[in-house]
Amino acid sequence: MTSPLPDTQVHNAFQDSLHAQIETLPPAWRSTLQAPHLQGIVARLDTMLAERLAAGARIFPLRPFRALIETPPESVQVVIVGQDPYHGPNQAQGLAFSVPDFCPTPPSLRNMFKELALEYGDPEQAPRNSLVRWARQGVLLLNTSLTVEAHQPASHAKKGWEHVTDALIMRVLREPRPKVLLLWGSHAQARRQLMDLQPPAGPVQVLMANHPSPLSALRPPRPFIGCGHFRQANDWLQAHGESGIDWLLAKVLAAAPGYGG
Protein backbone atom coordinates (compact mmCIF):
# COMPACT_ATOMS: atom_id res chain seq x y z
CA MET A 1 0.00 0.00 0.00
CA THR A 2 1.37 3.41 -0.93
CA SER A 3 1.83 6.13 1.66
CA PRO A 4 -0.76 8.89 2.01
CA LEU A 5 -0.03 12.23 0.44
CA PRO A 6 2.01 14.55 2.69
CA ASP A 7 0.20 17.08 4.80
CA THR A 8 1.29 19.87 2.44
CA GLN A 9 -0.53 18.25 -0.50
CA VAL A 10 -4.15 18.22 0.60
CA HIS A 11 -6.65 17.32 -2.10
CA ASN A 12 -9.77 16.64 -0.05
CA ALA A 13 -10.28 20.04 1.60
CA PHE A 14 -13.67 21.74 1.37
CA GLN A 15 -13.58 24.92 -0.70
CA ASP A 16 -17.06 25.41 -2.11
CA SER A 17 -20.47 26.25 -0.66
CA LEU A 18 -23.05 23.75 0.51
CA HIS A 19 -25.73 25.38 -1.64
CA ALA A 20 -23.61 24.94 -4.77
CA GLN A 21 -23.03 21.27 -3.97
CA ILE A 22 -26.71 20.64 -3.21
CA GLU A 23 -27.57 21.80 -6.73
CA THR A 24 -25.55 18.88 -8.14
CA LEU A 25 -27.35 16.16 -6.14
CA PRO A 26 -29.90 13.64 -7.42
CA PRO A 27 -33.36 15.28 -7.47
CA ALA A 28 -34.81 13.38 -4.50
CA TRP A 29 -31.92 14.36 -2.23
CA ARG A 30 -31.89 17.91 -3.54
CA SER A 31 -35.57 18.44 -2.78
CA THR A 32 -35.07 17.02 0.73
CA LEU A 33 -32.27 19.45 1.52
CA GLN A 34 -34.20 22.37 0.03
CA ALA A 35 -37.22 21.75 2.27
CA PRO A 36 -38.28 24.91 4.15
CA HIS A 37 -37.42 23.56 7.61
CA LEU A 38 -33.83 22.84 6.51
CA GLN A 39 -33.10 25.96 4.49
CA GLY A 40 -32.17 28.07 7.51
CA ILE A 41 -30.04 25.28 8.99
CA VAL A 42 -28.12 24.77 5.75
CA ALA A 43 -27.64 28.55 5.40
CA ARG A 44 -26.20 28.74 8.94
CA LEU A 45 -23.89 25.82 8.21
CA ASP A 46 -22.72 27.52 5.02
CA THR A 47 -22.03 30.72 6.96
CA MET A 48 -20.14 28.81 9.65
CA LEU A 49 -18.01 27.00 7.05
CA ALA A 50 -17.23 30.26 5.22
CA GLU A 51 -16.21 31.95 8.48
CA ARG A 52 -13.97 29.07 9.51
CA LEU A 53 -12.32 28.98 6.08
CA ALA A 54 -11.75 32.74 6.25
CA ALA A 55 -10.12 32.22 9.66
CA GLY A 56 -7.65 29.79 8.10
CA ALA A 57 -9.25 26.51 9.16
CA ARG A 58 -8.87 23.50 6.92
CA ILE A 59 -12.13 21.58 6.55
CA PHE A 60 -12.75 18.08 5.22
CA PRO A 61 -14.03 16.56 2.99
CA LEU A 62 -14.06 18.17 -0.43
CA ARG A 63 -17.57 16.84 -1.10
CA PRO A 64 -19.59 16.57 2.13
CA PHE A 65 -22.56 15.10 0.22
CA ARG A 66 -20.58 12.37 -1.56
CA ALA A 67 -22.72 9.62 0.00
CA LEU A 68 -25.81 11.17 -1.60
CA ILE A 69 -24.16 11.43 -5.00
CA GLU A 70 -23.35 7.72 -4.97
CA THR A 71 -26.60 6.42 -3.46
CA PRO A 72 -29.98 7.96 -4.38
CA PRO A 73 -32.70 7.25 -1.76
CA GLU A 74 -34.61 4.84 -4.00
CA SER A 75 -31.43 2.71 -4.31
CA VAL A 76 -30.79 2.32 -0.58
CA GLN A 77 -30.76 -1.26 0.73
CA VAL A 78 -28.56 -0.66 3.80
CA VAL A 79 -27.86 2.40 5.94
CA ILE A 80 -24.61 2.52 7.94
CA VAL A 81 -24.41 5.49 10.29
CA GLY A 82 -21.05 6.97 11.28
CA GLN A 83 -20.27 9.98 13.46
CA ASP A 84 -18.07 12.53 11.69
CA PRO A 85 -15.50 12.48 8.87
CA TYR A 86 -11.87 11.51 9.37
CA HIS A 87 -9.94 14.63 10.37
CA GLY A 88 -6.54 13.88 8.82
CA PRO A 89 -5.51 15.21 5.38
CA ASN A 90 -6.60 13.15 2.38
CA GLN A 91 -8.64 10.68 4.43
CA ALA A 92 -12.30 11.74 4.39
CA GLN A 93 -14.21 10.98 1.20
CA GLY A 94 -17.72 11.92 2.29
CA LEU A 95 -18.53 8.24 2.91
CA ALA A 96 -18.73 6.97 6.50
CA PHE A 97 -15.79 4.70 7.49
CA SER A 98 -14.25 4.94 3.99
CA VAL A 99 -10.82 6.27 3.05
CA PRO A 100 -8.92 6.26 -0.26
CA ASP A 101 -7.05 3.07 -1.04
CA PHE A 102 -3.66 4.77 -0.62
CA CYS A 103 -4.42 5.48 3.06
CA PRO A 104 -3.61 3.04 5.86
CA THR A 105 -6.72 1.18 6.99
CA PRO A 106 -8.33 3.04 9.94
CA PRO A 107 -8.88 0.90 13.06
CA SER A 108 -12.69 0.81 12.83
CA LEU A 109 -12.58 -0.17 9.16
CA ARG A 110 -10.00 -2.84 9.97
CA ASN A 111 -12.45 -4.34 12.47
CA MET A 112 -15.22 -4.21 9.86
CA PHE A 113 -13.01 -6.22 7.50
CA LYS A 114 -12.20 -8.60 10.36
CA GLU A 115 -15.92 -9.16 10.96
CA LEU A 116 -16.48 -9.76 7.24
CA ALA A 117 -13.75 -12.42 7.28
CA LEU A 118 -15.44 -14.13 10.24
CA GLU A 119 -18.74 -14.21 8.35
CA TYR A 120 -17.58 -14.99 4.82
CA GLY A 121 -14.03 -16.32 5.19
CA ASP A 122 -10.77 -14.65 4.31
CA PRO A 123 -10.98 -12.86 0.95
CA GLU A 124 -8.70 -13.84 -1.91
CA GLN A 125 -7.21 -10.35 -1.86
CA ALA A 126 -7.08 -7.62 0.75
CA PRO A 127 -10.24 -5.49 0.69
CA ARG A 128 -10.00 -1.97 -0.64
CA ASN A 129 -10.26 0.85 1.88
CA SER A 130 -12.52 2.89 -0.38
CA LEU A 131 -16.10 1.76 0.18
CA VAL A 132 -17.41 3.35 -3.00
CA ARG A 133 -18.19 -0.20 -4.19
CA TRP A 134 -20.65 -0.57 -1.28
CA ALA A 135 -22.22 2.84 -1.87
CA ARG A 136 -22.88 2.03 -5.52
CA GLN A 137 -24.69 -1.16 -4.54
CA GLY A 138 -27.10 0.70 -2.26
CA VAL A 139 -25.26 1.16 1.05
CA LEU A 140 -25.83 4.70 2.34
CA LEU A 141 -22.62 5.48 4.25
CA LEU A 142 -23.81 8.50 6.17
CA ASN A 143 -21.99 10.37 8.93
CA THR A 144 -24.20 12.43 11.23
CA SER A 145 -21.84 15.40 10.84
CA LEU A 146 -20.68 15.90 7.27
CA THR A 147 -17.71 18.20 7.86
CA VAL A 148 -14.82 18.39 10.31
CA GLU A 149 -11.76 20.58 10.87
CA ALA A 150 -8.27 19.22 10.42
CA HIS A 151 -6.99 17.28 13.46
CA GLN A 152 -10.07 18.24 15.52
CA PRO A 153 -12.50 15.32 15.80
CA ALA A 154 -16.16 16.24 16.32
CA SER A 155 -15.33 19.91 15.73
CA HIS A 156 -18.51 20.40 13.68
CA ALA A 157 -20.78 18.27 15.87
CA LYS A 158 -23.83 20.05 17.29
CA LYS A 159 -23.54 22.80 14.68
CA GLY A 160 -26.71 21.78 12.85
CA TRP A 161 -25.53 18.85 10.76
CA GLU A 162 -27.47 16.35 12.87
CA HIS A 163 -30.78 17.96 11.80
CA VAL A 164 -29.73 17.65 8.16
CA THR A 165 -28.60 14.04 8.31
CA ASP A 166 -31.61 12.98 10.40
CA ALA A 167 -33.81 14.44 7.64
CA LEU A 168 -31.88 12.39 5.08
CA ILE A 169 -32.45 9.17 7.04
CA MET A 170 -36.14 10.03 7.35
CA ARG A 171 -36.25 10.54 3.58
CA VAL A 172 -34.88 7.02 3.13
CA LEU A 173 -37.58 5.67 5.43
CA ARG A 174 -40.23 7.08 3.07
CA GLU A 175 -39.04 4.73 0.34
CA PRO A 176 -41.04 1.47 0.20
CA ARG A 177 -37.98 -0.60 -0.68
CA PRO A 178 -36.94 -3.01 2.12
CA LYS A 179 -33.84 -1.82 3.95
CA VAL A 180 -31.56 -2.62 6.87
CA LEU A 181 -30.27 -0.06 9.37
CA LEU A 182 -26.87 -1.04 10.80
CA LEU A 183 -26.54 1.02 13.98
CA TRP A 184 -23.15 0.54 15.62
CA GLY A 185 -22.51 2.41 18.86
CA SER A 186 -24.73 4.65 20.96
CA HIS A 187 -24.40 7.63 18.63
CA ALA A 188 -25.78 5.67 15.67
CA GLN A 189 -28.36 3.89 17.82
CA ALA A 190 -29.88 7.22 18.79
CA ARG A 191 -31.14 7.37 15.18
CA ARG A 192 -33.47 4.45 15.98
CA GLN A 193 -36.00 6.96 17.31
CA LEU A 194 -36.37 8.49 13.83
CA MET A 195 -38.60 5.54 12.96
CA ASP A 196 -41.10 6.88 15.50
CA LEU A 197 -41.07 10.30 13.82
CA GLN A 198 -41.19 8.84 10.31
CA PRO A 199 -42.93 5.44 10.26
CA PRO A 200 -41.24 3.46 7.48
CA ALA A 201 -43.09 3.07 4.19
CA GLY A 202 -41.65 -0.41 3.73
CA PRO A 203 -40.08 -3.23 5.76
CA VAL A 204 -37.07 -2.21 7.87
CA GLN A 205 -34.71 -4.41 9.85
CA VAL A 206 -32.64 -2.73 12.58
CA LEU A 207 -29.41 -4.43 13.70
CA MET A 208 -27.49 -2.90 16.61
CA ALA A 209 -24.06 -3.60 18.09
CA ASN A 210 -21.16 -1.75 19.65
CA HIS A 211 -19.11 0.57 17.47
CA PRO A 212 -16.34 -1.19 15.49
CA SER A 213 -13.71 1.02 17.16
CA PRO A 214 -11.04 -1.01 19.00
CA LEU A 215 -12.25 0.68 22.20
CA SER A 216 -15.63 -1.04 22.02
CA ALA A 217 -15.62 -3.74 19.33
CA LEU A 218 -15.12 -6.61 21.78
CA ARG A 219 -16.98 -5.22 24.77
CA PRO A 220 -20.44 -6.20 26.04
CA PRO A 221 -23.34 -5.83 25.82
CA ARG A 222 -23.27 -6.27 22.03
CA PRO A 223 -19.71 -6.81 20.77
CA PHE A 224 -19.21 -5.77 17.17
CA ILE A 225 -16.79 -8.61 16.47
CA GLY A 226 -18.98 -11.66 16.05
CA CYS A 227 -22.22 -9.71 15.52
CA GLY A 228 -22.88 -11.35 12.13
CA HIS A 229 -24.53 -8.20 10.78
CA PHE A 230 -23.24 -8.31 7.21
CA ARG A 231 -24.64 -11.79 6.56
CA GLN A 232 -27.80 -11.12 8.59
CA ALA A 233 -28.48 -8.02 6.52
CA ASN A 234 -28.13 -9.94 3.28
CA ASP A 235 -30.24 -12.88 4.47
CA TRP A 236 -33.03 -10.49 5.47
CA LEU A 237 -32.83 -8.45 2.26
CA GLN A 238 -32.90 -11.54 0.08
CA ALA A 239 -35.86 -12.92 2.04
CA HIS A 240 -37.64 -9.68 1.09
CA GLY A 241 -36.84 -9.94 -2.61
CA GLU A 242 -33.73 -7.74 -2.71
CA SER A 243 -30.33 -8.57 -4.13
CA GLY A 244 -28.39 -7.80 -0.98
CA ILE A 245 -24.83 -6.47 -0.98
CA ASP A 246 -21.68 -8.12 -2.31
CA TRP A 247 -19.61 -6.97 0.66
CA LEU A 248 -16.43 -8.60 -0.67
CA LEU A 249 -16.63 -7.06 -4.12
CA ALA A 250 -13.15 -5.86 -5.08
CA LYS A 251 -13.92 -3.67 -8.06
CA VAL A 252 -15.49 -0.22 -8.07
CA LEU A 253 -18.83 -0.14 -9.84
CA ALA A 254 -19.94 2.58 -12.23
CA ALA A 255 -21.48 5.64 -10.61
CA ALA A 256 -25.19 6.29 -10.74
CA PRO A 257 -25.97 7.65 -14.24
CA GLY A 258 -25.50 11.38 -14.49
CA TYR A 259 -24.11 11.95 -10.99
CA GLY A 260 -20.39 11.51 -11.46
CA GLY A 261 -17.90 9.45 -9.51
Residues noted as catalytic: 84
Q: Which helix (H) or strand (E) holds 53?
A: helix 36-54
Report the C-alpha gap between 81 and 152 in whole angstroms.
Answer: 20
Taking each helix axis from N to C terminus, what angle separates 161-173 and 36-54, rounded to the nearest 10 degrees? Answer: 140
**CA distance linking residue 256 with residue 261, whole number of Å:** 8
Rg of the Cα trace of the chain?
A: 18
- Amino acid code (one letter) for 139: V
Q: From residue 105, how far is each of 66, 129, 210 by CA, in Å? A: 20, 6, 19
8 Å CB contact between 54 and 152 = no
Helix axes 107-120, 229-239, angle to 10 degrees: 60
